Amino acid sequence: METTNPATNERIDTYEADSADDVDAALDRATDAYADWREVPMRERQELLVNAAAILRDRKREFAELMTREMGKPISQAESEVEKCAWGCEHYAEYAEAYLADEYYPSPPGTTAKTQYDPIGPVLAVMPWNYPFWQVFRFAAPSLAAGNVGLLKHASNVPGCALAIEEIFREAGFPEGVFQSLLIPSDLVDDIVEDDRVRAATLTGSGPAGRAVASTAGDQLKPTVLELGGSDPFIVFDDADLDAAAETGALARNLNGGQSCIAAKRFIVHESVAEAFTEKLVDEVEALTVGDPMDEDTDVGPQSSEGAMEHLHEQVEASVEAGATVLAGGEPMDREGAYYPPTVLTDIPANCPADSEELFGPVASVFTVGDEAQAIEKANDTRFGLGASIWTEDRDRGERVAGRIDAGCTFINQLTKSDPRVPFGGVKDSGYGRELSKEGIHEFVNRKTVWIE
């Protein structure tokens, strides 16, 4: 496996991939580790998560620079990601015991009926490159706290991050085999999912990858959680604070180079404020600093690779050929590296890529609607259903509209985000299941009914 710095297109390092024998040995270690780990008292598991959080904070700059070198995330955003991972560990260190406490039910006098939450075994996590630490920790912290063990198949362009995460858990004191990284190609994933030693799988990534894992796991009757991307609406009503909406919208579209499942992608704006909002959005987008991701002042770094940047531009070109208008950006930048500028499109025809596909980069698609009903219809006119953001000064209106949006999470006067305290996940082609909060830790446990006579 070779890693390339997308800011310079220079090779960083080469890693030896794990062989089939290496994978088999790792699965044996996971099985042996699980037999002991499931018996470790919750208090000890929580203490180890606190240790992991401390390591993340102590070595924050080191891990942030690793992310930035491998996938181009601006260094300030990479540092924030490491902090969020530490927060996630601390959240489950504090709340896992309560989330997994026995629940009692009515039963005849002299009997006890309850649900207890038991771990289920080794869980395979297939994770993407765009948030190479957070995506892993939001799986690992609850799963390890519950008594499961983790096997990570990370994206092939971030092997250094994968190995660093394994090192964090080892240094924190987690026993050997409780969390392992497998440096393998994607074509070995099905074999691992099918293996009797693996009891469940979770995947964040593309629709085809999710369908493949779900199909294999379903054939083996194994539970899965899938988060498969989105084309999130950002709805701006006529009574919205346009300055706040434009400022937050520019951030929500361009964070992480726009390479986020929950980025604001389709801006759906009431016709009475469409011109004013779009002007403000363009101003905010053009004020963003594009540059070296190692520079603290950079807002937008490169795309993850030349191939990703070229695919994004093909989608923009096809949309413009269909009739879309470019108000900002729209062409690869004339500089070394996989740089694409923050871009705003309007006058977007139906069924062109900017309308119907997920644009995984810094491209905002602006649509105009005449009323609330049209806004809801346009928001739901997608095969995705991950997140949504609604902007209005009328909180009752915002809550009413949120109830009609087909999405796993909706935010009113705020950008869509994941937070350890609340469930995260999608519907439709954005996947199923939930991560984080109490619901996330319950995805990979045996909800066992115990009746005591």
As annotated, the active-site residues are 227, 261
Rounded Cα distance between 246 and 278, Å, is 8
Give every CB contact of residue 53 below 8 A, 6+ residues apart in sequence: 85, 86, 87, 89, 90, 93
CA geometry: angle at 152 spanning 338 and 260, to 5°? Answer: 35
Rounded Cα distance between 210 and 35, Å, is 29
Which region, left, alpha or beta, applies to residue 229 given φ > 0 means left and ψ of -120 to 50 means alpha?
left
Cα dihedral 342, 346, 352, 356 sign: positive
Burial (0-12, 13-18, 19+ Cβ within 10 Å), 239: middle
Comparing CA positions, the residue from 386, 362, 369 lying closest to residue 233 is: 386
Helix (H) or strand (E) holding 125: strand 122-126
Beta strands in 245-374, from DSSP E residues, in sequence order = 264-270, 325-328, 343-346, 363-369
Return the SS3 of 278: helix
